[in-house]
Each structure stands twice: as C-alpha cells, then as structure tokens.
Amino acid sequence: MSTEENIVIRTEKLVKSFGENHVLKGFDLELNKGENLVVLGKSGSGKSVLIKCMVGLLYPDSGLVSVFGKEIPKLTQLELDELRTKIGFLFQSSALYDSMTVRENLEFPLRRHWMHKTKDEVNELVMEALKNVGLERAVDLMPSELSGGMRKRIGLARTLILKPEIMLYDEPTTGLDPITGREISNLIVAIQEKYHTSSIIITHDMECAKIVANRIMILIDGFKYTVGTYDELVKSDDPKIKPFFA
C-alpha cells in the first residue's frame, strides 16, 4: 500500500508539450519504496519524457514532479546535482562515453562525487560494479568494441556505481535479442533484490514487463489509463489494454 513515507517519486497532473504536440496531459504516478513499476505505452506516448522530467532533463509545463519529496523544478542546480546522485538512469542507447574505456566510463561519476576515494578504492568499486553485471573482462575495452547487450550491462554498471536508491530504465531491452533481453530483465530484478532500489522501467517489451514488474501502469493519450499487476492486466477484457498483452 502507498503511504506518504513510502512514496519516493510522485507526479500529479503532469503536463508536457512540445509545440503543438501535447505529450503528457495530466499524468499521475506514485512509485513506492523498493518496488519495480513498469510504465507501458505505445511508441511516442511520452514514456521517456516522463522519466526525463523526474531527473530534471526536461521541465514540465505544469503539474507536480517530486523525488524524495523534493519538487524537481524548484531545486537549484546544486540541489538537483546532489539529488541526481541518488538516481540511476539507464538510457535506451546506454549513452556510454565513447572516447573513454569502460574503466574510465565507470570512474567518471566516481571521481566527481566521491573524490576522497583512493585509487585502489576506486578500482575496487569499478570491479565490483562490473562483477554485478558479469563483465569484469571488459574493463579495458572501448565502447565501440562492445556488443549491444554488453553496452547495456556497462551502462547499468555505470549507473550502479554510485549506489543509487532509485533506478530509471528507459527501454532496457530494446534492440536486444530475446535471450539477452531476458538476461537484462533478470539483472534488473537482481539489482532490486541486492540494492533494494525503487525502479521505474519504461518498456513495451511484455516479457521484460512480466519478469520485472511489481506493478504495471499503462499510459494512453498522455494520461494514466490503468494500473495493476501483470496477472491482473493480462486477464483484462478492456479493448485498450488487451493489445499490449496480445
């Protein structure tokens, strides 16, 4: 059950438009501590816009978006940067820094936020993060030498290195073969269990949703259409919900 202390992310009547394109028209969402919430929606329905509003990459036109009770649009840059260290964001493209090796990619946020760490401690954290995603051997590779699945894993390791309390996944299995997609989905569950993270997973991959979701929220026409568990929604006869599970 949602109680005030239990809610880590909340959006209320969130509105976001790009010119004449009204993407979110009053979206409400609550993410509870420790849960995996999957947001389902068609391509272009505003799922990625939603999570970008949660980390201050985009600002809503109106409505509330708060993380740990702090309203994102009202934060100063310094406060926002501090809050962002508690949020991990896995981009659809993984967004690895392609001029840096895997090690440098992982060290990048560490050296800026945990400056007191010694070289050995940094190395230990890098190797631990890579071990979590099963890619210790890739430490000295360049991103261009990695496969799509490896890039996702390294992207995940980079977000995990600062031990975030919230994870936001933007289509984590898109572009991957079913086996690798399943591995990434299982990794998301393993991360939730190991680090007790609260996560929002944006996807339209039903297998991923089935594996990772504690709750599923369906976004249609810029509004929250419904919310429920996978088992509840899969049995639904609603013509708007059925196509997602067909």
Partner 1 sequence: MSKQSRRSEFLSEVGNISAFTGKFFREGFKPRYEWSELFRQCYIIGYESFPLVGITAFIMGLVLTVQSRPTLEEFGAASYLPAMVAVSIVREIGPVITALICAGKIGSSIGAELGSMRVTEQIDAMEVSGTNPFKYLVVTRVIACTMMLPILVVLADGIGLYASYIGVNLKGIVSWNLYTTQVFESLTFSDVMPALVKTYFFGFAIGIIGCYKGYFSNKGTEGVGIAANSAVVVSSLMIFVIDLIAVQIADILGLT
Least separation in angstroms between residue 148's CB and partner 1 is 13
**What's the rounded Cα separation, in Å, for the pair 117 and 221?**
47
| Amino acid in the structure at residue 217 | M
Nearer to partner 1, 76 or 99 (CB): 99
CB 216 within 8 A of CB 227: yes
Q: Does 160 bind partner 1 (CB under 8 A)?
A: no
Nearer to partner 1, 163 or 240 (CB): 163
* Window contacting partner 1 (CB under 8 A); options: 60-68, 96-104, 218-226, 233-241: 96-104
Phi, psi of 40 (to 5 degrees): -100, 145
Least separation in angstroms between residue 89's CB and partner 1 is 4
Q: Does 151 bind partner 1 (CB under 8 A)?
A: no
Least separation in angstroms between residue 120's CB and partner 1 is 19
Four-point Cα dihedral 93, 80, 55, 6, nearest 10: 130
Angle at 54 between CA 51 and CA 56, to 5 degrees: 110
b/e string for 31-68 if b means 16 or more Cβ within 10 A?
bbbebbbbbbbeeebbbbbbbbbbbbebebeebebbbe
* Window contacting partner 1 (CB under 8 A); options: 97-105, 130-138, 176-184, 198-206: 97-105
Q: Does 153 bind partner 1 (CB under 8 A)?
A: no
Nearer to partner 1, 17 or 85 (CB): 85
Least separation in angstroms between residue 159's CB and partner 1 is 8
Q: Does 169 bind partner 1 (CB under 8 A)?
A: no
Q: Does 190 bind partner 1 (CB under 8 A)?
A: no
Nearer to partner 1, 112 or 196 (CB): 112
Among 6, 17, 32, 85, binds partner 1 (CB under 8 A): 85
**What's the rounded Cα separation, in Å, for the pair 125 and 32?**
28
Among 29, 65, 72, 87, binds partner 1 (CB under 8 A): 87
Q: How many residues bind partner 1 (CB under 8 A)?
A: 25
* Window contacting partner 1 (CB under 8 A); options: 59-67, 80-88, 176-184, 228-236: 80-88
| Residues at the contact surface with partner 1, assessed by CB under 8 A | 52, 55-57, 81-82, 84-85, 87, 89, 91-93, 95-99, 108-109, 112-113, 158-159, 162
